[in-house]
Structure 1
């Protein structure tokens, strides 16, 4: 896992570190993030900064003290992570957080609660959290994360110091991946950035045999162009998250009908413009259906789309 800070966050971290060093860091922080902004890396760094027992001269987490080691092993009792269970964060989850928040720190001078996808708090959970934020215990910090365009209870936002976390430019993202993975071909890095959310997600991907996964999926798409549906079906059944990759391929293939240009990803070359439009509509409907009904059999739901993409030549006419 990549834990070092990406370059586009360094200035923000300098500001937050200075506030913490001068005892001026807000006890409630809200990170409103753009897609691919690597907000998890930023929030994890801030957690380590607050809980570190032996800061360096530049007031950064040392990485060697007992507290830093406990965070690394995910066993720090002064750190609490709250994320949605299913589609939301319920009031019972927040009550457990409240029970934790009133206890004194066990390993140092502070405590930190990280609330991921805070926009998924139910109304009752949001109100319960608000009560905690109105009168937080001394040296107890709350870090809330949410996508930039999502909503959150206005009174919670008013209690927090809000920061907008921007995503890197394509050049910044690619430069960083090239530094991290100099042995991976440039086109593979570009393709990962095209299909995934930013360089840190790409890093997690490449650290888990991602280069091989890219090769298998692109080969499966080429097989689909040759009327072989099995490889792509097997890829999606094994990793349903790759459905978004297929959606991106449909969009890229459609755009190629309007603007011919070099593409880093495989295209559905055998489909006409109108068929790609129909395929995209099928994809959107499928994505919404799966989001609303996650218990549905994925393979059965995706099969009509794959069958449409695999239709015989005799049907491929406008």
Structure 2
């Protein structure tokens, strides 16, 4: 282990209901070989402060919403920030190792692999492809890559303990340079919070904003960092509303992060459109089968309507008036 001297603070978003998992997280933070300067807990407005207390948590009343609460990490002044959910366990040397990795690879942020897609069963991998064109790749020295369709592909055989560059990661935890976090102005994306929690992949948008604005992100495999409640945010596939909003999320994430970028030529945009069309048609076929089995067309219609309404939204004044995804120095 390198002789690491650095300062960081922790930003946790919560609604105060993680219970024992929250306690495990706090205790693991207090046990770090390099202690945080502050542990800021961004508690959604209107929710009760957790009774659990370990020692140095500072509670901040924050507008409810995944983006509002994550963007509240802007208050950190130390050189580094650890941005996490409220149910993550860290081995005692995890933060120090992440810091050392940033220095070794000259990177700006690092996320532990808390959702190991490469470990999914064959049937889960098949389902991920059919519903969302998520697929594995051979080990090419990268972790997650974003496809033209907006879906991701994952390294199906990473080396044990590897640290690879990545284009996305799970939003569970990320350790990064505070100046980089502030530079991407994640608070510009609070428009996402009008969608129900658990339906919008705001973590992918966050990471792609980091990448597309020229910063370097890493993923750390077999880190020992654990997401203690990995099923918390999974939306039911049987809910019309959640299928509808998930469909909107797919289109809007693709449009903002992949299609509507200044670097894209007209040929790039055409390729992106064709890739998304394939993703859309494949997922429609799955929804069609499910609708037939359930004797109801609503599962298919929800998916189609979500995509159509998302297409309308990107043409609206509300969307057009959003700050650019690729930021100029003045933004």
Could you state the TM-score of these two structures normalised by the residue count of structure 1? Answer: 0.30
- Structure number, greater radius of gyration: 1
Between structures 1 and 2, the one with greater strand share = 2
Between structures 1 and 2, the one with greater helix share = 1
